[in-house]
Amino acid sequence: MRINSHPILDFAKERKKIFFTFNDEVVYGYVGDTIASALHALGIKQLSMSIKRKRPRGLYCAIGNCSSCHMIVNEEANVKTCITLLEEGMKVMLQTNLGELNAK
Partner 1 sequence: MMLKVTGVAEANQIKTRFPPLDYLIKPKAIIECYEDIPCNPCSTSCPFQAIHIGVDINQQPKLNVELCTGCGICVHSCPGLAIMVAQSLEDKIRFKIPYEFLPIPKVGEVWNAINRSGKLIGKAIIEKVINTKKQDQTLIIQVLVDKDLLYDFVTIRGLYE
Partner 2 sequence: MLNRDLVIIGGGPAGLTAAIIAAEAGQSSLIIDRNRNLGGQLIKQTHMFFGSGQMFAKTRGINIANKLIEEARKSELIEIWNEATVVGLYDDKVVTILKKDKPNNKYLKVQAKAIIVATGASEKVLTFENNDLPGIFGAGAVQTLMNVYGVKPGNNIVMVGSGNIGLIVSYQLMQAGVNVIAVIEAAPTIGGYKVHASKLRRLEIDILPSTTIKKAYGTDHVTSISTIKLDEKWNEIEGTENFYEVDAVCIAVGLTPLSSILSMVGCKMKYIPQLGGLVPIIDYNHMTNIPGIYACGDVVGIEEATSAIVEGYLTGLNVAKYLGKTHPQYDELIEKYNNELRILRSGPFGEKIRAGLLRMEER
Site of interaction with partner 1 (CB under 8 A): 5-8
Nearest to 1 by CA among 62, 63, 45: 45
Tell me: does residue 54 bind partner 2 (CB under 8 A): no
Q: How many CB atoms lie within 10 A of CB 29?
A: 27
Give the residue with the Cβ less far from partner 1, 3 or 103: 3
Tell me: does residue 19 bind partner 2 (CB under 8 A): no
Tell me: does residue 83 bind partner 2 (CB under 8 A): yes
Tell me: does residue 85 bind partner 2 (CB under 8 A): yes
Give CA–CA dist 51/74, Å, rounded: 20
